Amino acid sequence: MRVLFVAAEVAPFVKTGGLADVAGALPAALTALGHDVRVIMPRYRALRARSEPMAGPVAATFLPIGERAEEMRLYTGALGEVPVYFLDIPAAFERDAIYGERDDIRRFTLFARGVLAAMQHLREVDGWSPDVVHGHDWHAALVINYLRTYYAYTFGHIASVFTIHNLAYQGQGHPDLLGVAGLTEGGLIENGMGPGIAGSFNCMARGIAFADVVSTVSPRYAHEILSMEYGERLDGLLRHRQDRVAGILNGIDTQQYDPSTDVHLAAPFGANHMEGKAACKADLQARCGLPVDATRPLLGVVSRLAEQKGFVLLEAVLPWLLRETDAQLVLLGSGDARLEGVLHQVAAQHGDRVAVRTGFDVALAQKIYAGSDAFLMPSRFEPCGLGQMIALRYGSVPIVRATGGLADTVREGLDGNGFVFHPFDARHFQEAMARALASFRDTDGWAQLRERGMRADHSWAQSARRYVELYEWARALRRR
């Protein structure tokens, strides 16, 4: 199949979160299966500053936006064997920010217009047209909308898949932006979306309403977003289209995340040769100023400190952890200023037990995965989560809340690979941690638990095969 990926960020070119990891890794996995996959993304100022290798411009045009038209130039590059197209739209992306601008809706409306213009160029000049357009998150949602409305005559035969990476971010703006985008409310009612949903022009809702198939990044999250609790006011629309909603678990790059070859680690190790794990733990303890002690459980955290991630629960259980256990804690992350302050205060008062580092440090993150005994993810919600899968691969046993992709990847019991709690409250989190710390004292049982996690297959190859099935489904629906 010929597949066009549309994403606002693609690793390693630009990355702010897990979306970039998917858009960078999944096309390569699909290409390895024999499919013709290409990627299209914005050409941000940061890309030009880094002088990423790209050719062009190979084409140029003007994009309509309201009563104006903005210039676009098309550049080409590659990600391994995968062709990548960069849309240079100065009015939208000649600035430092990736997201968070007041005119984000206008910026990504231009991006969507640019994607369709690039598709026309590829068809007319290169003779290439996709069988499936795969749009990712709200930034690409208007591409899906345009395929079924403004460009239906030209591209109406092309199947579309729209992937929700995080439903909480929807791309909402004033209803007047309909005119700017050249769209109307027409066609929305029959697609399950009432006029003015959520009181705004809602990009995410339009992607859901017009896609042939809607996917999410884990099976559990696909089920959760049909409910009011997780549906972010779009649950009614999603329930209307639930016969076309599916969940596929993200993978991880098993070459990048490999404790046997990771250059950041003090010593290599793997499921069949665990000797280096102890050296990694000692190195992490020493680096963070904690007493080097193999007998004390070391808990790790690598995360954004956001409300979604549930670290208010960690704040609540820290007094118990420090009073009733001998566990150490190493945390790397940034975000909520209040929570950062609380954690730094605890670290200052208990420097022999707690180490907190703010910001992001790739080397330290890898050291935490490899050196920690257990890994904490008490998320309020988690569409997929990569941290728990990386932790499993590095022999750090996850302690997670049963939500989204965490519930799909971590299980507790006789054949388990971690520890799980269900209600989002401090008591249940504390009880899960207590079970884990008690299990840590059983050396043989802990080794078996750790080994089960390390041997699990969370590679992109497995996920890619599921996406091929999803594309075939979307094409079948489009042919009806």
Q: Tell me what percent of the residues of the chain surpass a pLDDT of 70.
A: 97
- Of 65, 175, 195, 165, give the one whose Cα is nearest residue 117: 65
pLDDT tens-place string over residues 236-255: 999 999 999 999 999 998 98
- Distances from the Cα of 441 to the Cα of 348, 370, 446, 447, angstroms: 28, 19, 8, 11
What string of DSSP letters covers 396-450? -EEEEESSHHHHHH---STT-SSEEE-SSSHHHHHHHHHHHHHHHT-HHHHHHHH
For the chain, give me the number of helices (H) and strands (E)? 19, 17
Question: Looking at the domain covering 2-251+461-479, what would its CATH class be?
Answer: alpha beta
Return the pLDDT at 191: 62
The rounded distance, in Å, linking the Cα atoms of 474 and 135 is 13
> For tokens 């963070």, what's the residue?
288
pLDDT tens-place string over residues 344-368: 999 999 999 999 999 888 899 999 9
Residue 450 has pLDDT above 70, yes or no: yes
Give the pTM.
Answer: 0.92
The rounded distance, in Å, linking the Cα atoms of 112 and 104 is 12
Residue 198 has pLDDT above 60, yes or no: no
Long-range contacts, stretch 290-294, CB < 8 angstroms, 24+ apart: 290/328, 290/330, 290/352, 290/353, 290/355, 291/328, 291/352
The mean pLDDT value of the chain amounts to 94
pLDDT tens-place string over residues 298-328: 999 999 898 899 999 999 999 999 999 999 9
- Of 114, 75, 76, 82, give the one whose Cα is nearest residue 5: 82
Return the pLDDT at 193: 63
Q: Where are the alpha helices (DSSP H) in 336-397?
A: 337-349, 362-371, 387-393
Q: Tell me what percent of the residues of the chain surpass a pLDDT of 90.
A: 86
Residue 49 has pLDDT above 70, yes or no: yes
Tell me which of 139 and 50 has the higher pLDDT: 139
Q: What is the pLDDT confidence band of residue 296, given thresholds at 50, 70 and 90? A: very high
Q: Which are the contacts of 387, defined by CB distance < 8 A and separation ≥ 6?
A: 302, 303, 375, 377
- Token output for 308: 């979604």
The rounded distance, in Å, linking the Cα atoms of 97 and 446 is 45
Residue 194 has pLDDT above 60, yes or no: no
Half-sphere exposure of 119 toward its Cβ, with a 13 Å CA cutoff? 25
Domain ranges of the chain: 2-251+461-479, 275-457
Same fold, 2-251+461-479 and 275-457: yes
Residue 196 has pLDDT above 60, yes or no: no
The CATH number of the domain covering residues in 275-457: 3.40.50.2000
Residue 277 has pLDDT above 70, yes or no: yes
- Of 172, 168, 150, 162, give the one whose Cα is nearest residue 208: 162
Work out the end-to-end distance of the chain between its first and last CA atoms, rounded to an integer number of angstroms.
Answer: 18
- Token output for 376: 């904490």
Number of C-beta neighbours around residue 98 at 10 A: 19
Return the pLDDT at 122: 96
